[in-house]
Amino acid sequence: MHHLVRAVLQFIRRHDLLKDGDTVVAAVSGGPDSVALARALIQLSRERALRTSLHVAHMNHGLRGPQADQDEQFCRTFAADHCLPITVEKSNVLAAARERRRSVEEAARQLRYDFLGRVAESVGARVVATGHHADDVAETVLLRLLRGTAVHGLAAMAPSRPIGPQRPRVLLVRPLLGIRHQELVEFLEELGQPYCADSSNLQLDHTRNRIRHELIPVLRRLFPTFSTESLCNLNEAAHESAALLADLLARHWPALCRAVRADGVLLDAEALAALPVALRKAAAQQALRLSCAASGRPGAPALRRQHYAALAALPEAPVGTQLSLPAGFMARRDHGLVVLCPPGPPAAMVPRELPVPGTVDLEEIGWRLSSYVLPKGAVTPEAARSPSPWRVHLDLSAVTRPLFVRNRRPGDRFRPLGAPVPVRLKKFLISRRVPLHDRDRIPLVTTATGEIAWVVGCEIADSFRVTAEGRRVIRLEAARLG
């Protein structure tokens, strides 16, 4: 067995990356790193050191014209020469970058990982292997240092992680993290294995390429003690610290997290303020990841040191404080909450009729409302004052039917229980400490004349309360869908 392949096997076993019986999707671009990965995995399988089966996946990003097509054909030929199945997909990275408002590199990465995850699911694979190596780790650590990362940002590349929030059971593994790029090139030369050269890797207008071809050679020349290995060791130490922090956060998370919804993740402000700053930052990072998963977004935004500092201070900020985060994400300090929201406004609710009796589902905001007509005397005035804000009773004789359901509009007014006159609905919601992000998602039940009869989850209007015995009553109930 080649010494490089033996080193790959030791790294796989040390980090428990692959198991016997695994189907492994190998991401092969045609470059030396991914081709060396595939050849190493092929040798390990054929020598029965690992009893795995390999499936090649190649994405043609369409960015380099004929050269990209040549890379695709190389990968098809490589798979055929080694009797391996292959899945190829061509994407429009430039269009995706414009649509998602991301850089070309970021859009390409998101499309590539989405493609690899879909291939893994289609072939029943548990893992996707990529050709990231030790030099990639060193370059990423330096890149993050230059951009101003916090300590956790030094954990640049892990041996394994979930490939994305939409596919948490598919692992991305990096078996070559302990090996230098030059070693991989020499390995292929010994095998007589050709590979493709990507001309874009030489373009110095990309920051990573400038780090690779200019900064690292200067550091090696001026500082003899500098090495790729030292940056890899820093990466590993940062991952160990991150694992410890994640364990501590997991113990506090049940008390911290109030809800995970498509429109945002709600954290308890008081519980968050009681934590050390490091755990506050970790909680914000976790909330952003969960928000992406709940809203179907490909990945959490990349935050810098100043973002984490502002998020850590948010639990103690005045109610109403808002933070703008990268990629359109927002963070807000609400009544008793810190809310982290994905881009975009909350779903608008289409107004509709609430049958009496009957049920209506409000899919846009996740509610179901039901109405029942109760016989005379079924509910006394005392019993009508239900302690639950999700079940209320209205005096049928005071209701002008049909009833309708909608969300709030500018200028809405509402007469709370016991109030002599109506007040602005906005003022009422503020007095009830309803968080800003929830105000547009609260259903309002109105009469045929447009009067608000019930602010769902809060209170009925005073003019509809049951005041006397023997009245016919409408019971209204609200529940979250699902």
Do 113 and 7 share a structural domain?
yes
Do 296 and 221 share a structural domain?
no
Query: What CATH number is given to the structural domain containing 140?
Result: 3.40.50.620
Q: Output the pLDDT for position 293.
A: 81
Query: What CATH number is given to the structural domain containing 370?
Result: 3.50.40.10
Do 238 and 223 share a structural domain?
no
Helices (H), 257-303: 269-273, 277-295
Q: Mean pLDDT for the chain?
A: 90
Q: What tokens does 337 get?
A: 């909450």
Higher-pLDDT residue of 435, 444 = 444
With contact defined as beta carbons under 8 Å apart, do 113 and 172 qualify?
Answer: yes
Say whether pTM exceeds 0.85: no
Across the range 438-467, mean pLDDT stands at 92
402 within a domain of the structure (yes/no):
yes
Do 10 and 139 share a structural domain?
yes
Do 270 and 204 share a structural domain?
no
Across the range 16-20, mean pLDDT stands at 94
Do 398 and 261 share a structural domain?
no
User: Cβ atoms within 10 A of the Cβ of 104, count?
Assistant: 15
Instruction: Report the Cα 368 to chain-centroid distance in Å.
Output: 27
Higher-pLDDT residue of 208, 270 = 270
Q: How far apart are CA 277 and CA 205, in angstroms?
A: 37
Do 247 and 201 share a structural domain?
no
At 168 the three-state DSSP class reads coil
With contact defined as beta carbons under 8 Å apart, do 395 and 464 qualify?
Answer: yes
Q: Output the pLDDT for position 363.
A: 85
Across the range 35-62, mean pLDDT stands at 94
Q: Output the pLDDT for position 173.
A: 97
Angle among Cα 14, 20, 23 to the nearest 5 degrees reads 105
Q: How far apart are CA 201 and CA 206, in angstroms?
A: 8
Q: How far apart are CA 32 and CA 455, in angstroms?
A: 63
Q: Output the pLDDT for position 197.
A: 86
347 within a domain of the structure (yes/no):
no
28 within a domain of the structure (yes/no):
yes
356 within a domain of the structure (yes/no):
yes
Higher-pLDDT residue of 347, 228 = 228
Do 183 and 62 share a structural domain?
yes
Higher-pLDDT residue of 103, 299 = 103
Across the range 226-246, mean pLDDT stands at 92
Residue with tokens 């009553």: 473
Q: Output the pLDDT for position 205.
A: 66
Q: How far apart are CA 320 and CA 263, in angstroms?
A: 17
Out of 341, 369, 404, a domain closes at 341
Confidence of residue 86 (pLDDT cuts 50, 70, 90): very high
Higher-pLDDT residue of 66, 35 = 35
| pLDDT tens digits for range 359-414 | 999 988 778 999 999 988 888 888 888 678 899 999 999 999 899 999 899 999 99
Confidence of residue 437 (pLDDT cuts 50, 70, 90): low
Q: How far apart are CA 246 and CA 253, in angstroms?
A: 10
| pLDDT tens digits for range 457-470 | 999 999 999 988 87
Q: How far apart are CA 6 and CA 412, in angstroms?
A: 72
* 3-state SS track over 16-75: CCCCCCCEEEEECCCCHHHHHHHHHHHHHHHCCCCCCEEEEEEEECCCCCHHHHHHHHHH
Do 250 and 145 share a structural domain?
no
169 within a domain of the structure (yes/no):
yes
Q: Output the pLDDT for position 191.
A: 96
433 within a domain of the structure (yes/no):
yes
Number of domains in the chain: 3
Q: Output the pLDDT for position 51.
A: 92
| pLDDT tens digits for range 136-172 | 999 999 998 888 777 778 898 999 999 987 788 999 9
Do 360 and 328 share a structural domain?
no
Across the range 52-76, mean pLDDT stands at 92
Give the structural domain span for 475.
Answer: 352-480
93 within a domain of the structure (yes/no):
yes
User: Is pLDDT at 174 greater than 70 in this prediction?
Assistant: yes
Out of 227, 259, 293, a domain closes at 227
131 within a domain of the structure (yes/no):
yes
User: Is pLDDT at 441 greater than 90 in this prediction?
Assistant: no
Q: Output the pLDDT for position 482.
A: 64
Out of 182, 203, 227, a domain closes at 227
Across the range 33-37, mean pLDDT stands at 97
Do 203 and 78 share a structural domain?
yes
Do 107 and 177 share a structural domain?
yes
Query: What CATH number is given to the structural domain containing 243?
Result: 3.30.465.60
| pLDDT tens digits for range 335-354 | 899 999 888 665 567 899 99
